[in-house]
Structure 1
Amino acid sequence: MPELSTVRRYEAAGFRAWPASSVIYDGTWAIRLTAGLPAKRLNSVNPLDPADSLNIGERIERAARRFDAYGRPVTFRISPLAGGTLSLHLDREGWVSFADSIVMHCPLDRLPLEGVLDQIPLKDVGRFVGSALEVHGTKPAHRPGLSELIGSIEPETGLFVMEAEGKPVATAICVHDGDLAGLFEVATASAVRGGGHGRRIVLAALKWARLRGAREAWLQVEADNDPATSLYRSIGFSEAYRYHYRRRAGT
C-alpha cells in the first residue's frame, strides 16, 4: 500500500498540470469537468480523503446531475485516496471498473541523460496541438479544447515535438512544478513505433526539466499499454500507485 502522502503529492501535481475547466468540491470529492475535451482525467469525480464517506448515495446523485449537464456519464477516478467504503458502495450498486492505470516515478539523477541532445520546447501552442492531434490520430474537433487546456497550465510547461521527413512522429508535454517533472501526452505515430522516438523525446523533455531544477519525474500510463510501460521501466521508472475508473453499468 503506497504512502497516502505520496499519493496526495502526485494527485495535487496532476491537478495543477492537467487542469479541468470546472472544479467543484463536494466535501473532499473534487468534481472535474471539461466541456471541450472528453478525457477521463478531466471529467471525473476524484475522492481525496478515505475518511470522507458520509451520504455517498446523495452525493453521487448530485455529481451525476453535474455530469448530465455536460452530456457525460458520471465517472469516478478511484485512487488510494478514495478509501474502501466508497469502493464497497460502488460494488454493491454494480458500477463497473475500467482503465486501470499506473502512476510511475523516477529520480532524475538516475536517468541516462548524458549524451541526450538538448531540445528547445516549442513556443507555438497551435503548432504543438496540430502535431499532437496528428500523432495521436485524434479528431480535429478536439483542437480548441486541447489548446485551451495547455494555455491554462500554470507551472512552467515544455511542449516537445520530434519530426522525421518533415512530419511529426512523437510528442510530449513536460510540466515543471517545483522539484517535480510531469509527463503528459507522450505518443509516437503508429507508423514509426519501435524506432526509438518515444525514448528520445521523453529523455529530451526530462533533461529540459532537470536543467530547470526538477529532481523527480512522474507520469501516468494505462496498465495494459505494454509498450509504454516497458519503455518507462527500461528508462528507470517504477510504480508508485495505481488508480482506475468506475461507471454505472451500461453507461
Structure 2
Amino acid sequence: MPLDVSMLGSRVVVRHRVGGTGPGGGPAMTDVVGRLLALDEATARVERRDGTAVDVPLASVVAAKTVPQRPLRRRGAAATDAEELTRITSRGWPATESVPLGGWELRAAGGFTGRANSVAVHGDPGVAVDEALVLVEAFYAARDLPALAQVVAGSAWDRAFAEAGWVGYGGARPGAIVQVADLEPAYVADSDALVESHASEGWMRMYHRVEDLRLARAVLEGPATVGFVSIGSPAVAIGRVVVTGEWAGLAAVEVAPEARRQGLARRIVQTSLAWAVEHGADKAYLQTMRDNDPAIALYRPFGFTDHHEYRYLTPGR
C-alpha cells in the first residue's frame, strides 16, 4: 500500500531502502514505525514513540501500511531516566538552532528562555570535558549569548561542571523541578476552552514574556503537535500543551489577575490533558520552580510528582 494523505495522524509502518546490500543479497531495507506527521511529494515524516522524527524519502519506500495503535504503556513516567527525560522535554520546547555535541545538544533561540538557549547535558559529549566546555563557550559567544548549561542537579555532570568552575546562574532561587504523571483516558475538555494549533494574538498577550515575537513563535509553535489552550474572549486564562511521541508537555499556564481563584487554571490543565490523550500521549511532564507553591498545588490532583531537579550553570568568571 502506498503512503497517502488519508494516513496522516495514523500509526504506520514504512519499509524503505537504506542503501547497500541486505543479508539475502537484495537491497538493504529497514522499517520505521510511528505516527505519520507529514507527507509531501518527496518525503514522509514519521514520529517514533520516543518523539524523534524520521524523514523518509518517498523514492526509497517499498511498502507502507497503517497498524493498530501501540499497546498500553509498558513503563510508567516515573521510571524514565532523568537524562532521557531531558531529551524529551527539549523536543517539546525546541530551539530555533540545535547543534549536537556528541550526546549533548547546543541550543540557541536568540535568548528566548533558558531552555532554548543552553546546552542540554545528557550522554557523552564525545570529547574530553575541558574541550567540550571550550566548545560550549565558543558556541554561545558566537551568538552573543551567555554560556549556559542545563544539568540534572546532583548528577555526575553537575559535579563535573562545578569542578571546572561553573556556578549557578540566576541568583539564589531554588532550582527548577520536572514533574511527571501517567495519563488516563478519563479527562474531559472544558466546553468553554479553545485549543488552537497556533498562538493567537490574545494568547500571546496573556503570555507576555516576549520581547521578540518572531523568536517566541518559532519556539512555541515549533513542534508538529502543539495546542494553545485559552478560555475567554479576550483570553483570561491560557496554557500550552505539546505531544512528542508518547509524552505530553504542559507549560505556560497563566490566568489574568482579575480572573484568579475561579478554577480557570485547573480547567486549562484538564483540557490540556484531554487533548494530549486524544493525540496519543500516555505520560506527561511539566517544569516549574521548586518555590512555586501555587503551581505545585495546581498539578498535584492530576497525579504529578517530582521526577528530578535541574539547574542552569555558567562559567564562574
**Range into which the TM-score falls when normalised by the shorter chain:** 0.7 to 0.9
Q: Does 1:96 align with 2:168?
A: yes
Residue 146 to residue 38, structure 1, CA distance change in 2 (3 Å): closer
| TM-score scaled by length of structure 2 | 0.66
Of the three residues 28, 41, 47, the one matched with 2:121 is 47
Letter of the 1:34 partner, please give it.
A
Matches within 5 A, 1:1-251: 5-35=80-110, 37-49=111-123, 55-79=128-152, 83-84=155-156, 87-91=159-163, 93=165, 95-98=167-170, 100-109=175-184, 113=187, 116-117=190-191, 119-123=193-197, 125-127=198-200, 130-139=201-210, 141-154=211-224, 156-163=225-232, 166-249=233-316
Residue 148 to residue 85, structure 1, CA distance change in 2 (3 Å): closer
Deviates more, 1:201-210 or 1:6-15: 6-15
Give the drift of 1:54.
Answer: 5.3
Give the drift of 1:152.
Answer: 2.5
Contact kept? 1:116, 1:207, Cα under 8 Å: no
Contact kept? 2:206, 2:256, Cα under 8 Å: yes
Residue 58 to residue 185, structure 1, CA distance change in 2 (3 Å): same
Give the drift of 1:11.
Answer: 2.2
- The superposition leaves residues 43-101 of structure 1 with CA deviations (integer Å, 9 ceiling, x where unpaired) of 0011112x658532232122112111222110010126x94255244245152255611
Contact kept? 1:105, 1:218, Cα under 8 Å: yes
Higher strand share: 2
Letter of the 2:202 partner, please give it.
S
| 2:49 matched residue in structure 1 | none
| TM-score scaled by length of structure 1 | 0.82
Q: Which runs of 5+ in 2 are unaligned?
A: 1-76
Identity of aligned residues (%): 23
Higher helix share: 1
Letter of the 2:93 partner, please give it.
W
Letter of the 2:206 partner, please give it.
V
- Structure 1 distance, partners of 2:163, 2:298, is 34
- Structure 1 distance, partners of 2:106, 2:209, is 25
| 2:4 matched residue in structure 1 | none
Q: Which structure is larger by alpha-carbon Rg, 1 or 2?
A: 2
- Structure 1 distance, partners of 2:162, 2:100, is 20
Q: CA RMSD in A?
A: 2.8
Residue 46 to residue 168, structure 1, CA distance change in 2 (3 Å): same
Aligned length: 238
Secondary structure of residue in 2 paired with 1:168? coil
Residue 232 to residue 31, structure 1, CA distance change in 2 (3 Å): same
Contact kept? 2:175, 2:309, Cα under 8 Å: yes
**Bigger relative contact order, structure 1 or 2 (CA pairs below 8 A, ≥6 apart):** 1
Contact kept? 2:86, 2:120, Cα under 8 Å: no
